[in-house]
Amino acid sequence: MQRINASISVDQRLAVQDVTASRAHCAMLVKQQVISAADGAAIDGGLVHIMGELQAGSFPFRAEYEDIHMNVEARLAELIGPPAGRLHTARSRNDQVATDFRLWTRQACEEAAGAVRGYQCALLDLAAAHASTIMPGFTHLQSAQPVSFAHHLLAYVEMAERDRGRFLDAATRMNECPLGAAALAGTSFDIDRHATAAALGFDRPMANSLDAVSSRDFAIEAVSAAAQCAAHLSRLAEEIVLWVSPAFGFARLSDALTTGSSIMPQKRNPDAAELVRAKTGRINGALIQLLTLMKALPLAYSKDLQEDKPAVFDAFDALELSLAAMTAMVRDLQPNRERMRQMANTGYADATDLADWLVRALGLPFREAHHATGAIVARAETLGLDLAGLSLSEMQRIEPRITAGVYAVLGAQHALASRTSYGGAAPIRVGEQIARWHARVQTEEK
């Protein structure tokens, strides 16, 4: 029974939050004259001592006390004697754990948002150095249209900003205090829940005592944000794995962020990127675990809720490491400009520009221009040429009205420069986006 019932091996991570919330509860009890000032002073002094033990790593966690709440209370009794028994007045372990868990998860979301910002800054710094570095843009992993390496990186900056927003939104939404809801129905003592909520940095106390002790949607929302963030990290991790492969050759990672082979001395394996990709599965698993845990629990508290914390802790541990690894890899990445430029000029990535020119210069309907372009590309393939190398006479065999002006839009460089619509890949637009992001980050840092 002790083995299945005890949670101290997991919830000891809530120790600081438990002591912090207990101090706020004690101060409120004294203010409301529920306990005496003398007892309150003894309790607070003991809790300060316990906090020091936690910070020093000397707190004696004991499995026989089941959870973090009983461990703290037992240690407090050892330190100050009978007054320790008054701390639990007007509260339950049910509202204690709900409060501690919200405090921890709120902090985890705020720290994740900060780590995402650091990752974005690494992407921005790399993008700023490569606003004019051409690379192939892909659809279906087939060369589609040329873009810049900076434009590609900025896509991940935008994704990360939405991830950051989800963490901050979750932290705001969960910022209501369960403390004082007691076991499930509130308490008959004259407590001030607004005071404890304010002392702990919450916006307000939770309005329904049943909801306060039994809801874990805040944890589900936080892990959902972590899962979405991990999915975005995994997409870039996958691209890094491709880019550093000899088949692509778009970039290199240094020995500091790759590993060797036990048998093949020439290998430089992108293990960090592969592990970021894999950790997404752990975070997704944590989300499914929480959703399954909560799907059929009647109000109010059930011991099933003891299983919520391992999933949340594991998800945020995995995300913290993934963000650190991705930030390091972005800062370490060494793009191969020449290789990307060569690849951007293959696969007829400027074919759309030819079709667009036929529409603009000759007034063809786009579908007709599309058909003509396809025929011109087929002719170029037969001759082993790119579009810019195909003679005007060959093009005119397919569409007689084509003029030499078409060459102004052919080739990756010209194709890239033409993408000037808002959000497009043209270097002038990319430079504006980099400047916008730098200004935004600098404003927030002030």
Which amino acids are annotated catalytic? 140, 261
Query: How large is the angle between the packed helices 149-173 and 427-445, nearest 10 degrees?
Result: 30
Q: Are the C-beta atoms of residues 218 and 167 closer than 8 Å to each other?
A: no
Contact 20, 102 (CB under 8 A): no
Q: How far is CA 296 from CA 209, 293, 424, in A?
A: 19, 8, 48
Whole-Å CA distances, 220 to 189, 263, 290: 32, 44, 6
**CA geometry: angle at 261 spanning 259 and 262, to 5°?**
125
Residue 145: phi, psi to the nearest 5?
-145, 150
Residue 200: how many CA atoms within 13 Å on its side-chain side? 37
CA quadruple 234, 236, 238, 244: dihedral positive or negative? negative
As a 3-state breakdown, the chain gives helix, strand, coil percent values, each rounded to 5, of 70, 5, 25
